[in-house]
A and B are shown apart, each in its own frame.
Chain A
């Protein structure tokens, strides 16, 4: 059973709305990730946080704003989105140490976002 939870599971928002996605991990991990999964496209890594510090921003538009207040919580703040931003947004965590081999990641169930 997954130790990573995401809320909400489904979200419909207009292009002018502001909303936030929440992720919480109960595994004691130090690294957290946001991914975007669109139909017929590879999984896209968006952001990486390690010990609350952002270590990766994969050229994500500024209408997506991440926040990591502690190692257990990760948010993705959304504003002025476009219809092409509709996708499944997945959060993951891992017990990772930069400079050592990459550990496996544990995923949440995702938030299905529809932008109208």
Chain B
């Protein structure tokens, strides 16, 4: 079955430090991959997506993600974290081919930023 694993439930980084959030997926066909961010009390905002082509994808707010087919991974990175990046981050894989297209989400990684 299709699935997304985010192995880190909670991560704390210092402001200005680099960040990498891990995401592994299991999907039999060509994966379409997404990262979303959710601030407290808000909905999910799309950070970036991978459909095909260049495996390094640039997103909003200075985030990027790299698709590695051999590792079934789509890790999210940011070179220098800002306090406003504190939020919960969700990785998702798009499921298609059936009666409905849908997104399969991971359980999320909660990011805390220390001053």
Q: Which residues of A contact B (CB under 8 A)?
A: 2, 4, 6, 31, 33, 41-43, 45, 48, 50, 55-56, 90, 92, 94, 96-110, 112
Contacts and interface: CB of A to CB of B under 8 A. Distances in A.
Contacts of A41: 107
B28 interface: no
B33 to A, nearest CB: 10
Contact of A102 (B43, B96, B105, B108): B96
Contacts of A94: 101
21 contacts: A2-B45, A6-B43, A33-B102, A45-B103, A50-B100, A56-B100, A90-B43, A90-B44, A96-B101, A98-B96, A101-B30, A101-B32, A101-B96, A102-B32, A102-B96, A102-B101, A102-B103, A104-B46, A104-B49, A109-B42, A110-B43
A42 B43 contact: no
B65 to A, nearest CB: 14
A42 B35 CA distance: 15
A102 B34 CA distance: 11
A102 B49 CA distance: 11
Contacts of B83: none
Contacts of A110: 41-43
A96 B102 CA distance: 9
A43 B105 contact: yes
Given A48-B100, A98-B99, A109-B43, 8 more contacts: A33-B102, A42-B108, A56-B102, A90-B44, A101-B51, A101-B101, A102-B102, A105-B46
A56 B46 contact: no
A55 B43 CA distance: 23
